[in-house]
Amino acid sequence: MKIIGHRGARGEAPENTLGGFQYIHDLGIRAVEFDVRQLKDDELIIMHDDNFLRTTSIDQPLYSLNSKALEPYNQANIWMDWEKQITPTLRQSLKIMHDFEHIEVEVKAVETHQHADKLILELQKQLQDFENTAIITSFDLKIHQALIQHNSHFKHGLLIEDDIGEKAIEQALALKCCQIGWMNQLATDDLIQATQKANLNVSVWTVNDLQRAQHLRDLAINGLITDFPKMMQVGLDQIK
């Protein structure tokens, strides 16, 4: 079971930042999850929300900006001991991840199929050196359909946050996914085992409880996505 840092390590470092990605790298963890959005100048950036308010305390919608206008927004605003962290591009972030073994690239929802196509074409271009380590994940079916349409060589995984039970497995198989990312609250033992029986990999998010993590390890899931990778790394090592 891989320990995968959620948005870098959002419980231990500013989320989705170069500093956060470097932090997880320095821990010796080589598996990470982060969020990708495409700006109006087509640049791919790493950010979970579509507004800067939560992470920078500035109420500014993301999509009205281009990649040249990110400088004023400090993604480490609430982190007293951290220097300023500007919203990173995917290109910048991948330089830190050159030796990572597992990269989960969550593509946030887009408005249209045209947006999905444009984003996926650019994403595949930027990830071309990471075909063996990257998996593209999304809740948005348009993203998966775009990957199929463009005969993508990248693995992709369906993210599930709605209580639809084994229908999620049927959906993932129909979309040619190799993985389901189950929200922790939905990831029952039966659903995990049914997913594995369908020859789909399993990741579970977001797991911040050590006992729960130990149980999921016993179920042989593939990836544990956590806000606290250092805590999980140390804790699970102690209870092997």
Q: How far apart are CA 89 and CA 37, in angstroms?
A: 9
Is residue 130 within 8 Å of 99, Cβ to Cβ? no
Cα-based torsion angle of the residue sequence 181, 183, 184, 185 in order, rounded to the nearest 10 degrees = -150
Output the pLDDT for position 237.
84
Output the pLDDT for position 112.
97
Give the 3-state secondary structure percentages of the chain, helix then strand then coil, rounded to 5. 40, 20, 40
Is residue 49 within 8 Å of 74, Cβ to Cβ? no
Q: How far apart are CA 118 and CA 102, in angstroms?
A: 24
- Going residue by residue through the chain, which has 240 residues, state the pLDDT in tens, using 9 for 90 and above: 999 999 999 999 999 999 999 999 999 999 999 999 999 999 999 999 999 999 999 999 999 999 999 999 999 999 999 999 999 999 999 999 999 999 999 999 999 999 999 999 999 999 999 999 999 999 999 999 999 999 999 999 999 999 999 999 999 999 999 999 999 999 999 999 999 999 999 999 999 999 999 999 999 999 999 999 999 999 998 876
Q: How far apart are CA 236 and CA 227, in angstroms?
A: 15
Domain boundaries defined on the chain: 2-238
Query: pTM of this prediction?
Result: 0.97
Query: What's the residue count for the chain?
Result: 240
Q: How far apart are CA 159 and CA 55, in angstroms?
A: 23
Instruction: Name the residue with tokens 């500013």.
Output: 14
Output the pLDDT for position 239.
79
Q: 226 in helix, strand or coil?
A: strand
Q: Name the token pair of 72.
A: 């004023």
Q: What is the CATH number of domain 2-238?
A: 3.20.20.190
b/e string for 20-29 if b means 16 or more Cβ within 10 A?
bbebbbebeb
Q: Name the token pair of 190.
A: 């039966």
